[in-house]
């Protein structure tokens, strides 16, 4: 796999993009500017200082927001029966998109719940509802946020960069545009288990004949778990080669659109246009971008990265590693399901990750003692 390096301007030093560039670096490299490389987004020393200050101020808790695939019928029903903020948030989201999200969450049908244009606002509403409850119950403000694909929008709502009503509308449009970008049957995705990233990248490159027959690694979810996507034929050829190379399993995913590939360019263009009509504020809490696994607070940069994310791989393993390097030892999975908690165990077993979708799990996470940050 090609390693993305960050160029430190006015210096010959090179630092890996996934480096958190914490307080120690800020002390010894004054007045330097950092460029994210291929992402084309720069991070100044001032912004990095602000992010380090946020970690010191808020403690060492990182919040993780799930993406598509974490939904299920009846999600959040138990906790909603005890906490009005859950149903209130769903009602607000439903009003924004003229769709009864709570009924869809509880009653489905599953086929409608699985439609991308419905799934995305559904998961966002559930994630924001739990985050609002967390704050309402006196939970610690997280030091840094990250969301897996769609979950990045939930993170931006939590960071007060994007208004909830705007976010619900945007992700519904995003879902519609992603599904419409490629005719049904043209694209495919598959999960690959048990091979190094470098091997998967090499095999995908060999299976990609040209721009009209492409397959790429698009989700680096954890060590040994990667999702590939692209033209259906190329995904099929790569899947056979990956099995021959020793993959434990290669599992076709029940989706027809090859998310996070260049084939999604029409969807990226639609999202870019939609974001031009939405007010984005600077994030009050750093949000790790899926594109370059770096923390960002600048609203212009965030908008650019959201558009890039549609056609770029999700660097989830690197995102989590960046949060750990920033000082996070405890994590909260804020949304339906426990997918990200499972990935966390594969990325770094020394951390704690609490899924908070049920009343019992929520209370357990809320009552965990927080560490005193080291400044």
| Token couple for 44 | 């100044």
Q: What are phi and psi of 181, to 5 degrees?
A: -65, -30
Instruction: Tell me the per-residue pLDDT of 244-291, one tens digit each, with 9 for 90 and over.
Output: 999 999 999 988 789 999 999 999 999 999 999 999 999 999 999 999
Mean per-residue pLDDT, 42-52: 46
Q: Work out the angle between the directed axes of helices 339-347 and 316-325 (0-180°, nearest 10).
A: 70
Q: What's the pLDDT score for residue 336?
A: 97
7 within 8 A of 14, measured Cβ to Cβ: yes
Coil vs helix vs strand at 61: strand
Range list for CATH 3.30.70.250 in the chain: 187-256
Range list for CATH 3.40.366.10 in the chain: 61-181+265-366
What percentage of the chain reaches a pLDDT higher than 70?
82
Quickly count: other Cβ atoms within 10 Å of residue 211's Cβ: 9
Instruction: Tell me the per-residue pLDDT of 316-350, one tens digit each, with 9 for 90 and over.
Output: 999 999 999 999 999 999 999 999 999 999 999 99
Q: What's the pLDDT score for residue 171?
A: 98
186 within 8 A of 233, measured Cβ to Cβ: no
| Token couple for 332 | 């909260």
Indicate the CATH number for domain 187-256.
3.30.70.250
Indicate the CATH number for domain 61-181+265-366.
3.40.366.10
Cα–Cα separations (whole angstroms), residue 143 to 53, 60, 85, 267, 280: 9, 6, 23, 31, 20
348 within 8 A of 326, measured Cβ to Cβ: no
Taking 60 as the threshold, does the pLDDT of residue 47 lie above it? no
Place of tokens 């990325």: 347
Measuring CA to CA, which residue among 182, 186, 127, 223 is closest to residue 310? 182
**Hey, which residues are catalytic here?**
149, 260
Q: What's the pLDDT score for residue 58?
A: 47
Taking 50 as the threshold, does the pLDDT of residue 18 lie above it? no
Instruction: Tell me the per-residue pLDDT of 122-168, one tens digit each, with 9 for 90 and over.
Output: 999 999 999 999 999 999 999 999 999 999 999 999 999 999 999 99
Instruction: Tell me the per-residue pLDDT of 297-308, one tens digit each, with 9 for 90 and over.
Output: 999 999 999 999
Lowest mean pLDDT among 22-36, 64-78, 104-118, 156-170: 22-36
Taking 50 as the threshold, does the pLDDT of residue 9 lie above it? no
CA pair distance 275, 180, nearest whole angstrom: 18
Contacts of 188 (CB under 8 A, 6+ apart): 229, 230, 231, 232, 235, 236, 252, 253, 255, 256, 258
């Amino acid at each position: 796999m090609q390693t993305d390096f960050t160029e430190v301007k006015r210096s010959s030093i090179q630092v890996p993009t996934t480096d958190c560039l914490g307080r120690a670096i800020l002390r010894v490299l004054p007045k330097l500017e950092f460029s994210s490389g291929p992402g084309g987004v720069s991070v100044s020393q001032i912004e990095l200082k602000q992010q380090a200050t946020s970690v010191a101020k808020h403690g060492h808790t990182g919040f993780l927001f799930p993406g598509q695939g974490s939904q299920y019928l009846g999600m959040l029903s138990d906790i909603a029966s005890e906490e009005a903020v859950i149903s209130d948030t769903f009602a607000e989201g439903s009003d924004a998109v003229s769709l009864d999200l709570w009924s869809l969450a509880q009653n489905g049908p599953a086929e409608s719940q699985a439609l991308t244009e419905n799934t995305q606002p559904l998961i966002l509403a559930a994630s924001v509802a739990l985050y609002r409850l967390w704050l309402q119950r006196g939970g610690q403000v997280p030091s840094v946020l990250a969301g897996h694909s769609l979950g990045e929008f939930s993170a931006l709502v939590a960071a007060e960069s994007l208004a909830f009503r705007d976010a619900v509308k945007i992700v519904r449009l995003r879902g519609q545009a992603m599904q419409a970008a490629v005719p049904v049957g043209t694209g495919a995705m598959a999960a690959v288990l048990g091979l190094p990233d470098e091997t998967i990248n090499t095999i995908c490159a060999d299976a990609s004949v040209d721009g009209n027959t492409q397959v790429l690694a698009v989700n680096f979810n954890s060590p040994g778990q990667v999702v590939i996507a692209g033209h259906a034929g190329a995904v099929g050829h790569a899947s056979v080669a990956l099995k021959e190379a020793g993959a434990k399993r290669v599992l076709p995913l029940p989706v027809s659109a090859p998310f996070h590939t260049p084939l999604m360019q029409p969807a990226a263009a639609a999202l870019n246009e939609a974001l031009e009509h939405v007010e984005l504020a600077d994030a009050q809490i750093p949000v790790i971008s899926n594109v370059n696994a770096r923390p960002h607070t600048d609203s212009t940069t965030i908008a650019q990265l959201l558009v890039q994310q549609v056609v770029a791989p999700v660097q989830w393993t690197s995102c989590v590693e960046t949060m750990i390097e920033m000082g996070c030892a405890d994590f909260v999975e804020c949304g339906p399901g426990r997918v990200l908690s499972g990935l966390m165990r594969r990325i770094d077993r020394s951390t704690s990750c609490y899924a908070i979708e049920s009343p019992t799990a929520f209370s357990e996470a809320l009552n965990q003692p927080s560490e005193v940050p080291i400044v």
